[in-house]
Amino acid sequence: MEDRVSIHFSVEDGIIEVEQKKGPLISRKEISRDQLLNCFRKSVYIREDAPPVLSSGFLPLNTLAVRQTKESVSVVVWYPRLRADLSLYKTPYPDFPIPRLVFGFSVGAADGAVSACRIGVIADETPTPDTIMYHYPFSNVDSSGSLCIGANTLPKYKELRKAAGLPALLLSIPNNFDRFDPSDNQLGLDYRDLMQHLKDKEPAYYYTDILIPNGQTLAHFIQHM
């Protein structure tokens, strides 16, 4: 019987569990992110002529992927909430139901400036690389997921972990009709009619009556970090 060690990640609550199997015996232990990173660092062989290792530091909760260079850190995060405060021009839609979303963005290493913001709609499931994606049913986001923030000023994050609040901030930016396409929702509704139609619905309604698959998976979204 093969001995092995497995690491399990819980996306919803951020728990990391190490499972060790020795013959018929199985033991499990929860560890912190810092403990996991230290284990990885100690187990990696680095050549003397290798470039310096770049540490991401503490990442925002629910981070799915990270890519780091000397200039910036790019992350994709899973947004666990199914309601948000939205607005269309000056019409507010507080506590509005939304589908499962992922956000991509970059944070400058030198100044903490946020750039390259993207939003994607994913299936209502625990995210995996094969999770299917859908057309974004609202406005201000193009077919690649790129978000137009207009003249809005975004905060700077000297500590990457503090960017956990960025998705809610991006959703709160007032929407207009820019990049909205009625063909991106099953009912073919224009934007105002769509918002009125959805405001009293449950988030699950998106997956039966609104969303249209875009032919991509979460892996495609992450590849464009």
Average pLDDT over residues 78-97: 96
pLDDT at 14 > cutoff 90: no
Query: What are the distances in angstroms from CA 194 to CA 127, 185, 187, 207, 209?
Result: 27, 9, 8, 15, 12
pLDDT at 45 > cutoff 80: no
What residue type is assigned to position 166 of the chain? L
Domain that holds residue 30: 2-41
- What is the number of structural domains in the chain? 2
Share of residues in the chain with pLDDT > 70 (%)? 93
CA 81, 83, 85, 88 torsion-angle sign: positive
What's the chain's average pLDDT?
A: 90
pLDDT at 134 > cutoff 80: yes
- Asked if residue 216 and residue 180 are part of one domain, the reply reads yes
Specify the pLDDT at position 209: 98
Specify the pLDDT at position 50: 58
Distance, CA of 61 to CA of 33 (rounded, Å): 11
Residue 90 belongs to a domain: yes
Average pLDDT over residues 153-174: 94
- Asked if residue 90 and residue 25 are part of one domain, the reply reads no
Distance, CA of 210 to CA of 217 (rounded, Å): 18
Distance, CA of 38 to CA of 40 (rounded, Å): 5
- Asked if residue 105 and residue 32 are part of one domain, the reply reads no
Task: Give the distance from CA 74 to its chain's centroid.
Answer: 11
- Asked if residue 171 and residue 92 are part of one domain, the reply reads yes
- Asked if residue 9 and residue 74 are part of one domain, the reply reads no
- Asked if residue 124 and residue 34 are part of one domain, the reply reads no
Specify the pLDDT at position 1: 55
Residue 47 belongs to a domain: no
Specify the pLDDT at position 58: 82
Number of H helices, E strands in the chain: 5, 11
End-to-end CA distance of the chain: 41
CA angle at 75 for the pair 139 and 207, rounded to the nearest 5°: 45
Q: Which helix (H) or strand (E) covers residue 220, if one does?
A: helix 218-223
Nearest residue to 90 (alpha-carbon basis) of 195, 222, 224 = 195
Specify the pLDDT at position 213: 98
Band (38; pLDDT cuts 50, 70, 90): confident
3-state DSSP assignment of residue 186: coil
pLDDT at 140 > cutoff 90: yes
Residue 120 belongs to a domain: yes
| Residues 164-189: tens digit of each pLDDT | 999 999 999 999 999 999 999 999 99
Strand locations in the chain, DSSP E? 4-9, 16-22, 25-31, 63-68, 72-79, 83-88, 91-97, 101-108, 114-122, 132-134, 213-217
Place of tokens 């284990």: 39
Band (49; pLDDT cuts 50, 70, 90): low
